[in-house]
Each structure stands twice: as C-alpha cells, then as structure tokens.
Structure 1
C-alpha cells in the first residue's frame, strides 16, 4: 500500500514530515556551438538530460567538445537555445546580477587548470575564498580538507609554488568547503598522482552523499570514471 501524504490541515502526529528532495538540475534541449566548429564542420551540439541530486554525472562524447558543454552548464557561456532548470527556476532567465549570485553561492565551476592567485598561500587562499560563507564553519572544513588532500604541510606555501596536482586539489578544497549545491568539474584530477586522486574522489563522493550535491563532470581518470553514478552523452 502506497503511503498517503497528508495536507497541511492534518494533525502533526499524522502528517508526513519527511524533508523535500533537493531540486535536481535539468537540461532541456540545451544547444551550443562545439569547439573547433570550422575544423569539424558540424552543427550545434545538444545536452538533454537530468542531473539528480546526490549523484555524480559524467559527460561523455567527443573530448574536444565536452569543455564547451561544461561552460554552458556552468553559466560561463550562453547557449544557442534551450532551458537549464533547477527545480522550477530557469537559470538562463536570470539577469546578470542574479546569475552572478548564482555562480557565487549555488554553483561552483572548476576548470582543468585552475587560476589561483599567485601571491596567496594555500591557507590564505582558503580563508579569503570562504570568508563570506559562514567562516566559523567553512575555515575548519577547509583545514580538514587540506589535511585530507596532503596539503596540511603546505598550508604556508604560495599557490604558485604548488605543483599542478596540488593546485587542482586546493581549488577543489576551496569549492567543497563552501558547500555549493552544484559542482561542475573539468577533469580535475588530471594532474594528480593515483594516491591524491583517490583521496579527492572519496572526498567528492562524501560531500555528494552527505549534502545531496549535484556533480557534473568530465574526466580522463579511470578511477573517477568508474566511480561516477551515471553517464550522459553529449551529441
């Protein structure tokens, strides 16, 4: 027998008090121009699919075009047509100020090669980027992630002096510690050794499950690919 959800007038003892499922992200016929259009002589590509909360969705297809798909999903580029819905909100209909707030507080995009301020130390970078996001909670989370990613001993190292793998890990730690609802990742373990990549992938999975986060990613890392919950083709 299926459960009955009581109306707001029901008794507190009988009403369904289960928390609402966090909103999913949905791309509806989201068309965009692929990279290297002239060289490929192809028309627009389309992302059309559902990105559930609490899961990691791996985009698949021609590797030359996946970065363009991520840029559209992360609001870095405008699509040719289509909708990008988070719950009932069409993100593409937001004005410039609203879209800026959305990118800052709801969605975080991590490029393949993150651009970190060269003069900041790893710890200063985390403290600066998390200051407006409940700093009393965010900074302890950041310090914990530094330790998890083997960056604790490098907390005082300038970001420009970090190798590419630890730079990617620092950028991801910064994104995770502010608890975005949506995380868009462009091959973020590409420069990491197997040990660090494993720690990063476990941390992503932990936050996805704990926070019902939506992760959309591309990856060339076999471990990351094997640990994705689902795949969505871009064609």
Structure 2
C-alpha cells in the first residue's frame, strides 16, 4: 500500500504559504514523524493527506489507501468501558467473534505495554496509558492511513517515553502511520522523518 504526494503547497486565503513543493512517498509498515516549528503546517499536512483539506497546490494520490484513522492530541474514550473493550471493538466491527477479537486485542495491548491494564476502565487510566490505548485501538482498526497529532504534547517526560516506545510498536503493521510532533523522542521512535522546515 502506498500514498504519494507531489508538489503540495498550502496557504489560507491570502496569507503566506505554510509550505510548498512537498513530495512524499509513504508506504505501509512505516511510521513517519512530521516535525517543524509551530505554524509550519504539520497538522494541515495531515489533514491534506486524509483528504479533509484540499491543498492550494499539488495533489495526493491515495491509491488503495482509502480508509483513514486519526488519534487526536487529547485521548477520548468511553469512561466505563475497559481497555480491552476499546481495542476489541474494531475487530468485532470487522466481523471477528468476541473471543477472537479479545485474543487479538490482548496481543495488541501487550505490544503497547497495557496487557496488565486490560480490565481497567478508561476512566482509571493515566494520560499516558489512555494515549497508548488509543494508538492500539487505531492500529486495531487497520486503517490504510493512521494519523496521530502530537501524541506527547500534554504528557510529562517519563509518560512521553512510554508513548514513544509504543509508537515503535506501530511500525511494521498494515497501516501508513504519520505523526505530527514537536518531540525529539517521538521523531526518533519513527522509521522516517519529514521536516516541514525544509518546505517553508
């Protein structure tokens, strides 16, 4: 699975361009860190890749990358549902039995360091645990393109480290994973780096 972008540029109304001449070749099984100063267009680029914003210049070819998942900066879940419930649901929605869904979900929770929290309600999870849970749920849904916006922005350094370790577990799977971040640890956890400062 592959997503390509050629000559992307974007600005809002008559404002200066956020970025121009962005060429990308994104492949499933890899994680891409999108870095750059505030205002460089990191989140805007994610929105363009998702097809939610039309670029001012250039085009995106999603090929067969038609499904999109997004993990937002502030994790949201169903307070009374367990961590296992959150990750099992995408498997059930895809047609798995509850038993098979729970088995696959349990394996993913282990990958993201949450195996011991499987039966814990979302409301009892720490911020870092909740963020890792939603990353696991995003992977469970197996979108062609998984977008993650500033996953460590609200977290302390120790908790950020646990989330960054979990991002490493996202590589090598079926999705193209693109992560907007200011965090050097997040950047280093990814397989590839897109520096928006080079497209200013």
Scaled by the length of structure 1, the TM-score of the pair is: 0.67
Q: 2:37 aligns with which of 36, 46, 62?
A: 62
Tell whether 2:6 aligns with 1:31. Answer: no
Residue of structure 2 equivalent to 1:42: 16
Describe the shift of the 1:83–1:198 C-alpha distance in structure 2 as closer, same or farther (beyond 3 A): closer
Is residue 165–residue 189 contact of structure 2 (8 Å, CA) maintained in 1? no
Q: Secondary structure at the match of 2:170?
A: helix
Cα distance in 2 for residues equivalent to 1:47 and 1:125:
39
Residue of structure 2 equivalent to 1:98: none
Deviation digits for residues 78-135 of structure 1 (CA, Å, limit 9, x no counterpart): 4345321023x6x8xxxxxxxxxx4xxx322212213223342222222333322242
Alpha-carbon shift at residue 194 of structure 1 (Å): 5.4
Alpha-carbon shift at residue 203 of structure 1 (Å): 0.9
Cα distance in 2 for residues equivalent to 1:170 and 1:47:
35
Q: Secondary structure at the match of 1:114?
A: coil
Please list every run of 5 or more consecutive structure 2 residues that lacks an aligned counterpart in the other structure: none
The aligned length equals 190
Name which of structure 1's ranges 186-195 and 56-65 shifts more when overlaid on structure 2. 186-195
Deviation digits for residues 147-185 of structure 1 (CA, Å, limit 9, x no counterpart): 333323333333233221111111111111232222222
Residue of structure 1 equivalent to 2:137: 174
Is residue 138–residue 177 contact of structure 1 (8 Å, CA) maintained in 2? no
Is residue 108–residue 136 contact of structure 2 (8 Å, CA) maintained in 1? yes
Cα RMSD (Å) of the superposition? 2.9
Correspondence 1:78-157 to 2 at 5 A: 78-87=54-63, 102=66, 106-136=67-97, 137-157=100-120
Please list every run of 5 or more consecutive structure 1 residues that lacks an aligned counterpart in the other structure: 1-21, 92-101
Scaled by the length of structure 2, the TM-score of the pair is: 0.76
Structure with higher Rg: it is 1
Is residue 167–residue 190 contact of structure 2 (8 Å, CA) maintained in 1? no
Cα distance in 2 for residues equivalent to 1:224 and 1:170:
16
Is residue 182–residue 215 contact of structure 1 (8 Å, CA) maintained in 2? yes
Deviation digits for residues 52-89 of structure 1 (CA, Å, limit 9, x no counterpart): 313222223233331222122223434345321023x6
Alpha-carbon shift at residue 195 of structure 1 (Å): 5.2
